[in-house]
Amino acid sequence: MQKFVRLSSLVCPLPRANVDTDAIIPKQFLKSIQRTGFGPNLFDAWRYLDEGQPGMDNSQRLVNPDFVLNDARYQGAQILLAGSNFGCGSSREHAPWALLDYGFRAIIAHSFADIFHQNCFKNGILPITLDDEHMTTLFALSQMAQPLNLVIDLQQEHICLPDGEQLAFVTDSFRRQCLLEGLDDIDLTLRYRAEITAYEARRQETAPWLFAAESSVG
């Protein structure tokens, strides 16, 4: 998993509440369990004027000119500014996969659905919750003629605005450290590889009958 330490990026505003995971990546795209390739269909039903299906050539589809991802001002944004209860609905992990594949590394919102919030951390996306006052400020800045750029420092746990003002945020200490080091659940397990190998060796000595069937198959 890619480390997240400090991010300086353009902000893409999506001022909608209760954005569910089916809106983030519609159900017809869930056939694949690969973590990549979902970015072109992120927010598919809002991004295009026709119904998307797996395998379609998106370059030939009708684009919704009023949707924010199709606005040239926000191209290349790695920070998504969202409303309350972002990521609600089903617990599909494809949602953070799609956001990450598109290029988003951080989401700033009023609040998140619990499982989506956890899945973001597990896939290298930093979800940040801010209070209403600060969210209102950020949305106002993002709608101005000059695109909004923010600097997110996970080590210091603050967001730096263009005028130098800093907005503090709080993350779970364990999840924060995992992002800083780029550790997903598999990486965390592999840190104990030596202990796991030693345990398996001991089990083969103390309970060899458990491995008899495996040996006969081999």
Report if residue 79 sits inside a domain.
Answer: yes
| Residue 169 DSSP symbol | -
pLDDT in tens, the chain (218 residues): 999 999 999 999 999 999 999 999 999 999 888 889 999 999 999 999 999 999 999 999 999 999 999 999 999 999 999 999 999 999 999 999 999 999 999 999 999 999 999 999 999 999 999 999 999 999 999 988 889 999 999 999 999 999 999 999 999 999 999 999 999 888 888 888 888 888 888 888 898 888 876 555 45
- 55-60 contacts at long range (C-beta below 8 A, 24 or more positions apart): none
Question: Looking at the DSSP assignment, which residues form a beta bridge with residue 129?
Answer: 109
Instruction: Give domain status of residue 111, yes or no.
Output: yes
Looking at residue 10, what DSSP letter applies? E
Note whether 67 and 47 are within 8 A (CB).
yes
Is residue 164, in this structure, part of any structural domain at all? yes
Query: What's the CATH number where 96 sits?
Result: 3.20.19.10
Model pTM score:
0.88
Residue 174 lies in a domain: yes
What's the domain range around 116?
6-183
Residue 153 lies in a domain: yes
The count of structural domains within the chain is 1
Residue at 147 is within a domain: yes
Distance CA 187, CA 165 (A): 36
